[in-house]
Amino acid sequence: MKCAEKLLALAFLHLAFSSLLCFAACADTRRRGNARNQNQKASSGGNTWCIAKPSTENARLNVNINYSCTQSGVDCRPIQPGGTCYRPNTIVSHASYAMNLFYRTAGKNTWNCHFNGTGIIISQDPSIGSCNYPM
């Protein structure tokens, strides 16, 4: 192996090792940040709900409803016809209810409301009429 090839190989190893270290440091920082957010949420009372962004396309909201309603511990009967949360009969309302149930049963972490960028966490109770959103 020529000198130039050895230098190139060493440079590649150095770059690969540096990238690995950077990835590990970033992952650790994210983990500590999430733990800090959890502690802040717990100390502030944790009164939060997950709802659908109103500007989200109906097809994406249907995906959120189907996903949420098939998860363990999520009961979507209230958004079925005749249910306490069927009215208002809108896709945004039904998706918000289902997404909030998933958010609550999954642990109320910020990532449990992401839904590929279609969910938002709010601190004002979205309950309306006879439809009560559980905390």
Q: CB–CB of 121/110 below 8 Å?
A: yes
pLDDT of 58 above 90? yes
Domain boundary assignment for the chain: 1-45, 46-122
What DSSP line would sit under 42-80, residue for residue?
HHTT---EEEE-TTS-HHHHHHHHHHHHTSTT---GGGS
User: Which tens digits make up the pLDDT trace of 16-40?
Assistant: 444 545 555 555 455 555 555 544 4
